[in-house]
Chains A and B, each alone.
Chain A
Amino acid sequence: MYGRKACQLVKETATGEKGQIKPFNDDMFNQVIQECCSHHLELQSLFRNMQEEGLDIQTTRNADFYGALIHHLSLTRNKRCLMAYMYNRAEVIRSLRWKLGRVLPEEISKKLSSSEKEYLKGYSASLDAYMNDINLDLTVDMVPPKDPYIQVRVLDDIGEVVLTDCSANLARYSMHFLKRTDAEPYISQGLMEELVS
């Protein structure tokens, strides 16, 4: 049936967990585009038939017209599905930028297509430019903090780091009492975890 593949593509985004991204389905995406091309060819050949019979495409309502109409509807349907697929992925990518920062972890970034990587880069750049303009980092404290300081455990060797109010040796498995704003980038990269009492 026409448009079935495009629908499967959309279904794929619907079945995934919210806020997570699946690998870009290149294969299916191209198959849908190919389907669009064949619809286009059929559409043109039906129009050609009508012109050869000397009929006016605008007003005639014969079998060729309804065939062409079905192909046209399938084209717009496929387009809508592809657009929705890209749009909803772009939405997730934007939210990932807020949650995970400028650089995505390897296992997530390999799920993106090359144009999506380009998009993330562009989005990141304009967000950075805006934050530079107003001189405020908007990505920290997405949830209002209860206390400016938090207890953290370091998960990986980070080494000697200069923080805003002190310098600390962030050795593996050591525990620290840090300013939340200092710890947050490390936590989002997975190098630290917050100790919840």
Chain B
Amino acid sequence: MGSYYDIDDILSEEEPVTVIFRKPANGVGIDPSAEKNCVEQGSKVELPLWIAHELCQRDAVSVNVPACFDEKTRLEIQADPANVDLRSRSPYFYELGCKMAPITGDRTLCYFLFFAFRSRYKEVLTKAHTAAHVATPKVLSRLTNEEIDLYEAAQSSVAAFKKWRVGGSRFQPSSALGRKRRSTD
């Protein structure tokens, strides 16, 4: 759970999910197919996660698992985790998944997320350590925001390591220390 002011947490909660209303609601303009300003019982509406989450906790809606966690994605991840474009599915793929798991009651989702992250983690680090700077944009376009942070962290640590190995710029002795000390006696 991110902090109240966390921008990434706020943006991840804006991801749309499809919900089915179990209770009707009056005076709200969130269902584009409705004629009046209300939502009928049983109507299917796409809502951002922050509304869906709260309504689900109060049993007003039931939440469907979003399309980005569908069977096709799962098969692709199982086949070749590193080359699946998760960013186009959702830049907040893991955050969304972690928030969806408790409210959809889909137990396989957690294992799937864990598997996907673990297998991609190694690839992300390997690429960050070896890739020349020119090749980065193509790789980054497939990663989620969290993986991009990881990638950048890995690259900066490699850069720091290289600098350390070649000696880099070390502390220089102050010029005052280099002078010969005059005997004062």
Q: Which residues of A contact B (CB under 8 A)?
A: 1-3, 7, 10-11, 13-14, 42, 45-46, 49, 61, 63-64, 66-71, 73-74, 77, 80-81, 83-84, 87-88, 146-149
Shortest B77–chain A CB gap in Å is: 26
Q: Is the CB of B28 within 8 A of A14?
A: no
Which residues of chain B are near A147, meaning CB under 8 Å? Answer: 172, 174-175
The one of B5, B48, B55, B58 that contacts A1, using a Cβ cutoff of 8 Å: B48
List the A residue with the shortest CB-CB distance to B59. A61
Q: Which of B8, B25, B47 has the most A CB atoms < 10 Å from its CB?
A: B25
Distance of A66 from chain B, by nearest CB (Å):
4
With a CB–CB cut-off of 8 A, which chain B residues contact A84? 4-7, 10
Known contacts A63-B24, A66-B25, A70-B30; can you find 11 more A-B pairs with CB under 8 A? A1-B48, A2-B30, A10-B10, A46-B27, A61-B23, A63-B23, A66-B24, A67-B25, A67-B28, A147-B175, A148-B174
Question: Contact between B5 and A70 (Cβ–Cβ < 8 Å)?
Answer: no
Give the residues in chain B near A70, CB-CB below 8 Å.
25, 28, 30, 51, 55
The 9 A-B pairs at the shortest CB distance, nearest first, are namely: A66-B25, A67-B26, A67-B27, A63-B24, A63-B26, A87-B5, A67-B25, A84-B5, A7-B14
* Size range of the chain B interface in the assembly: 20 to 34
**In whole Å, how far is A96's beta carbon from the nearest beta carbon of chain B?**
18
Given A46-B26, A66-B24, CB of A149 within 8 Å of CB of B175? yes
Q: Which of B5, B7, B25, B51 contacts A14 (CB 8 A)?
A: B7
Q: Cα distance A3–B38 when bound, in Å?
A: 18
Please determine whether B11 and A14 come into contact, CB atoms closer than 8 angstroms.
Answer: yes
Does B117 sit at the interface, judged by CB under 8 A?
no
Write the chain A residue with the least CB distance to B58. Answer: A69
Min CB–CB distance A127 → chain B (angstroms): 22
Cβ < 8 Å to A, chain B residues 42-62? 47-48, 50-51, 54-55, 58, 60
Q: Which residues of B contact A49 (CB under 8 A)?
A: 26
What are the residues of chain B within 8 A of A77 when measuring CB–CB?
50-51
Instruction: Give every chain B residue within 8 A of A11 (Cβ-Cβ).
Output: 11
Assess whether B171 is interfacial by the CB under 8 Å rule: yes
Q: Does B130 contact A (CB under 8 A)?
A: no
B183 within 8 A of A: no
CA distance A68 to B60 in the complex (A): 13
Q: How far is the CB of B42 from chain A (nearest CB, A)?
A: 13
User: Across the interface, which residues of B come within 8 angstroms of A80, CB to CB?
Assistant: 4, 10
List, in ascending order, chain A residues with CB within 8 A of B54's CB.
Answer: 69, 73
B33 at interface by CB-CB < 8 Å: no
Interface CB pairs A-B, < 8 A, 15: A1-B30, A7-B14, A7-B48, A45-B27, A63-B23, A63-B25, A66-B26, A67-B25, A67-B28, A69-B58, A70-B28, A77-B51, A84-B4, A84-B6, A146-B169
Q: How far is A161 from B174 in the complex, measured between Cα atoms in Å?
A: 25
- Complex Cα gap A2–B7 (Å): 18
Point out the residues of chain A lying under 8 angstroms from B23, CB to CB. 61, 63, 66
Q: Please tell me if the beta carbons of A42 and B58 are within 8 angstroms of each other in the complex.
A: no
B26 near A64: Cβ-Cβ < 8 Å: yes
Are B172 and A146 in contact, with the CB atoms below 8 A? yes
